[in-house]
Chain A
Amino acid sequence: MPRKALVKIKPRRYKKGDIVTVATVIMHPMETGMRKDKKTGKVIPAHYITDVEVYYAGEKVTYMKTTSGLSANPFIAFNIKVDKEAPLKIVWKDNTGDVTEKVVKIKFAQ
């Protein structure tokens, strides 16, 4: 089931060859598997994102290995050097096999 995710590129207008910041947020509980449900006393099973991959023009440009040590609804920002107009795809994978994809288009300011 795809989750709600947001991808924003800062600054909004950029030229060829600029280094831009890609800010991403995904809605995810990031359960550690150590927390207990207050009402039932049962341990809430672990549910967190394990991999984040970034593809630019079909090429894997960066990837991240994450654990439950990231906060809920993880925010991740990194840099990309934009040198071509191509789609930027971000893929989140979690430990239950859930995969969420988000694509944004890199387009230079006129």
Chain B
Amino acid sequence: MDRRNFLKTMSIAVSVVAVSPTFSKKAHANPDKFQQALMKITGGKTPTPSDKVQLKAPEIAENGAVVPIKVLVNLPVEQVKAIHVFAKDNPNPYVFSIYFTPQNGRAFISTRIKLAKTTVVHALAELNDGSFLEASQKVKVTIGGCG
């Protein structure tokens, strides 16, 4: 190998190495954000999937700007402290939290949220003993309604 070729290959290899970390960082920016948002609420605890948490969301949403969701926790309201909702692939994954007292009678929330694209919606129920229960559902978002 002559010197000219050697330099050429070296420069390509270096540039590939230099560029690749920035690429991978970009691709993983959102899951990191989701994990960070989750950490902020749970404080490092892992939520356990449970059928006690009922998340009702459409499987296909025509309009990502208005996606109706309902969350009901099938436990006495005295045991439930809060419900937290996350949309995994949103630019801002944390959507809302609602905190309950026994006066509520039932741990239930119905509202409308925005979804940037097809994503998984997570509903976390925070119990008074500090544990977390989770339910999640994938919602397909068709943009524009032409496809």
Check if A62 is an interface residue, CB within 8 A of chain B: yes
Q: Does B98 contact A (CB under 8 A)?
A: yes
In the assembled complex, which residues on chain A have CB atoms less than 8 Å from the CB atom of B24? none
Chain A, residues 6-33, CB within 8 Å of chain B (1/0): the string is 0000000000000101010000001010
Q: Are B105 and A77 in contact (CB under 8 A)?
A: no
Looking across the interface, which residue of chain B has its beta carbon closest to that of A23? B110
Which residues of B are found within 8 Å of A56, using beta-carbon distances? Answer: 103
Query: Do B104 and A62 touch (CB < 8 A)?
Result: yes
What is the total number of residues of chain A having a CB less than 8 Å from a CB of chain B? 29
Chain A contacts for B99, CB-based, 8 A: 62-65
Interface of A is mostly: strand
CA distance A34 to B116 in the complex (A): 12
**Number of B positions contacting A (CB below 8 A):** 27
A91 CB-CB contact with B under 8 Å: no
Among the listed B67, B106, B114, which residue makes an inter-chain contact with A19, where contact means beta carbons less than 8 Å apart? B106
Output the nearest chain B residue to A64 by Cβ-Cβ distance: B98
- In the complex, how many angstroms separate the beta carbon of A22 from the nearest chain B beta carbon? 10
B65 contacts A68, CB within 8 Å? no
A65 → chain B, closest Cβ, in Å? 5
Instruction: Say how far A97's CB is from chain B's closest CB, in angstroms.
Output: 20
Inter-subunit contact B95/A70 (CB<8 Å): yes
Chain B proximity mask over A52-71: 1 for CB below 8 Å, otherwise 0 = 00001001111111111111
Of the residues B92, B96, B105, contact of A81 by C-beta under 8 Å: B105
Question: Does the CB pair B94–A80 fall under 8 Å?
Answer: no
Q: Please tell me if B66 contacts chain A, counting CB pairs below 8 Å.
A: yes
Kindly list chain B residues whose C-beta atoms are within 8 Å of the C-beta of A66.
95-96
**B112 within 8 Å of A (CB atoms):** yes
Does A34 lie within 8 Å of B109, measured CB to CB?
Answer: no
Shortest CB-to-CB span from B24 to chain A, Å, is 24
- Cα A81 to Cα B100 with chains together (Å): 12
> Could you give 10 example pairs across A and B, Cβ below 8 Å?
A61-B103, A64-B96, A68-B92, A69-B96, A69-B113, A70-B96, A74-B111, A76-B111, A79-B105, A80-B105
Contact surface of B with A, Cβ cutoff 8 Å = 65-67, 87, 90-92, 94-106, 108-114
